[in-house]
Amino acid sequence: MILDLRADFHLMAETQPILYSFRRCPFAMRARLILKTCNVTVRLREIELKDKPKELLQASPKATVPVLILPDQILEQSMDIILWALSVSDPHNILGSWNADKAASAQFLESLDGEFKRHLDRYKYAARFEPKGKNFHRDLAMFWIENIEVKLSEMPYLSGKTIGIFDYICLPFIRQFRIADPDWFDSQKLPNLHKSLSQFLESYLFMQVMQKMPIWKKTGIETEF
Ligand SMILES: N[C@@H](CCC(=O)N[C@@H](CS)C(=O)NCC(=O)O)C(=O)O
């Protein structure tokens, strides 16, 4: 009996999904947030973007994170990982607000990962793009942020009455926007967003997903996440 259980345990460990992740990447962050909220356990392999493991490059030549390796498929987009995790377990009915209006959800995602991320990168990493365009892109990103502020003045969370998928997919990017110049961001008139972001950054969930992990390529250590 004990032997059988052990065999099952090894089988489970071998078939447990592998998540390639990078702690500070907002795409990886949102995938980890949802995996944690859904209690879906993975073996996390923390990577460094400047020194990616060959196993990641073999599995996913486009070489971005997050990537989730499942026994029968490889998911290379954060949203695919999120929707897969929610299809396995969705104890808080997070998918409810996503599915309520799929076209609007897709549009929100497209504007976040497209327009907003584009301006965010050109603001936060202006030196890599066009240094003179820094504030121009900051102000365009702020248009997007102001829409978020309006939504948050109408309901407690972007996902409705409780925190959910829209908050989790976008707050990691708003955090990044703030980090580019915290004093400037904190001085902007965004009372609802400031509250929502602080609550998120102080949450136990955020602390869990931001724990430092050993670099898998250097240490061989996978973390059960
Ligand atoms: N559309 C992808 C974007 C992922 C992405 O761009 N991740 C960045 C890190 S934040 C990355 O891996 N970049 C590759 C690199 O910098 O080499 C997703 O949603 O997962």
Atom of ligand 1 nearest to the CA of 24: 10
Which pLDDT belongs to residue 15? 76
Assess whether pLDDT exceeds 80 at residue 1: no
3 band by pLDDT with thresholds 50, 70 and 90: very low
Closest Cα to atom 8, ligand 1: which residue? 64
111 lines ligand 1 (CB under 6 A): no
The conformational region for residue 223 under phi > 0 = left, psi -120 to 50 = alpha, else beta, is beta
According to CATH, the topology of domain 2-92+209-224 is Glutaredoxin (3.40.30)
State the distance from the centre of ligand 1 to the C-alpha of 64, rounded, in angstroms: 4
Residue 193's contacts (CB-CB under 8 Å, 6 or more residues apart) are 145, 148, 149, 152, 174
Please choose, from the candidates 172, 179, 171, 159, the residue with its C-alpha nearest in 3D space to the C-alpha of residue 21. 172
Which position has the token pair 């407690």?
156
Q: Would you list the DSSP string of 102-150?
A: HHHHHHHHHHIIIIIHHHHHHHHTGGGS-GGGHHHHHHHHHHHHHHHHH
Closest Cα to atom 13, ligand 1: which residue? 64
Encode pLDDT of 108-149 as tens digits.
999 999 999 999 999 999 999 998 899 999 999 999 999 999
State the distance from the centre of ligand 1 to the C-alpha of 117, rounded, in angstroms: 11
52 lines ligand 1 (CB under 6 A): no
64 lines ligand 1 (CB under 6 A): yes
Encode pLDDT of 14-56 as tens digits.
679 999 999 999 999 999 999 999 999 999 999 999 999 999 9
Atom of ligand 1 nearest to the CA of 50: 17
Class of domain 95-206: mainly alpha
Which pLDDT belongs to residue 14? 61
State the distance from the centre of ligand 1 to the C-alpha of 153, rounded, in angstroms: 31
Which pLDDT belongs to residue 10? 44
State the distance from the centre of ligand 1 to the C-alpha of 28, rounded, in angstroms: 8
Pocket test for ligand 1, best of 29, 50, 64, 84 (most atoms within 8 A of CB): 64
- Domain positions in the chain are 2-92+209-224, 95-206
DSSP 8-state symbol, 74:
E
State the distance from the centre of ligand 1 to the C-alpha of 67, rounded, in angstroms: 9
State the distance from the centre of ligand 1 to the C-alpha of 127, rounded, in angstroms: 19
Gap between the Cα atoms of 141 and 154, Å rounded: 21
| Phi, psi angle pair for 46, to nearest 5° | -75, 135
173 lines ligand 1 (CB under 6 A): no
State the distance from the centre of ligand 1 to the C-alpha of 65, rounded, in angstroms: 5
